Amino acid sequence: MRRKWLIRWSAAWLALGLLSHSPALAEDGPVSIDPRPATDALGRSLPMPGEVPESRPGRFFGMFYFLWHDNRGGRNPAGDGPFDVSRILARDLDAREHPGSPLWGPIGRYHYWAEPLHGYYLSTDPWLIRRHARLLSDAGVDTLIFDATNAQSYPDVSTKLCEVFRDVRAAGGRTPRVAFMVNTKAGPTAGSTATSTSRASSATSGSPGKAGR
């Protein structure tokens, strides 16, 4: 069992190395993080500079970035987007106790918990990808981690994202690097992932004077 998990995690980090390592990136200087105030619907606000410790050198910031926003199916009660939990409960609060309510979508169909800031977007939208690249880079995110643990790597989405990241970097902008986390069929998934993104690999390797962190 231990050997099996070691193989899986080795494959996962092999994918990370294939897609995110580059000597040029190690030479990049520190990035100035642009603070962005925000308050959510519950009144919880992000801390501002001076309320948190200074950034510590040698730290690496990775976060999960999901590629699943590509489902064109489903209609919410308002009829202007996919299934949305917040709108379903606004229509009928008791639906949370009744999984058979017609307001819910079929089992296995994606449900948003609320409408995103930029609407019910598709993950392949170039404008949205550029917007995320800017916001995530400004936040100091070094690497995006894609969940491919169920042997699904969403190649159409991940390849489009890498292509857009490549263009951003070619124009002198900054983007995070990318990595895939694998588990089921770890070896084959890591191999197919590396192959499907090879044409856009320069998006994550960068070039001297151009690449961000």
Q: Whole domain around residue 194: which residue ranges? A: 2-70+122-205
pLDDT digits (tens, 9 = 90+) for 78-134: 565 688 899 999 999 999 999 889 898 888 778 888 888 888 888 899 999 999 999
The pLDDT-based confidence of 205 (bands split at 50, 70, 90) is: very low
Looking at residue 6, its pLDDT comes to 42
Q: Are residues 127 and 61 in the same domain?
A: yes
From residue 67, how far is each of 2, 125, 129, 144, 159 by CA, in Å? 30, 11, 11, 11, 11
Rounded distance between C-alpha atoms, residue 92 and residue 85, angstroms = 10
Average pLDDT over residues 167-182: 91
Contact 137, 175 (CB under 8 A): yes
Q: Are residues 157 and 198 in the same domain?
A: yes
Calculated CA dihedral for residues 175, 211, 168, 65, nearest 10 degrees: -20
Q: Are residues 28 and 133 in the same domain?
A: yes
Residue 51 DSSP class? S
pLDDT digits (tens, 9 = 90+) for 24-42: 333 344 455 666 788 888 8
Q: Are residues 126 and 114 in the same domain?
A: no
Chosen domain end from 60, 93, 120: 120
pTM: 0.71
Helix (H) or strand (E) holding 205: helix 202-205
Instruction: For residue 155, tell me if it sits in a domain.
Output: yes
Q: Are residues 94 and 51 in the same domain?
A: no
Number of domains making up the chain: 2
Q: Are residues 114 and 128 in the same domain?
A: no
Instruction: For residue 154, tell me if it sits in a domain.
Output: yes
Percent of the chain residues past pLDDT 70, beyond the cut: 70
Q: Which residues pair with 178 in a beta bridge?
A: 144
Instruction: For residue 38, tell me if it sits in a domain.
Output: yes
Q: Which residues pair with 182 in a beta bridge?
A: 148
Residues 6+ apart with CB under 8 A from 179: 15, 16, 19, 20, 62, 143, 144, 145, 146
Q: Are residues 83 and 187 in the same domain?
A: no
Q: Are residues 146 and 53 in the same domain?
A: yes
From residue 96, how far is each of 42, 86, 212 by CA, in Å? 20, 11, 44
Instruction: For residue 210, tell me if it sits in a domain.
Output: no
Q: Is 154 left (phi over 0), alpha (psi -120 to 50) or beta?
A: left
Contact 156, 71 (CB under 8 A): no
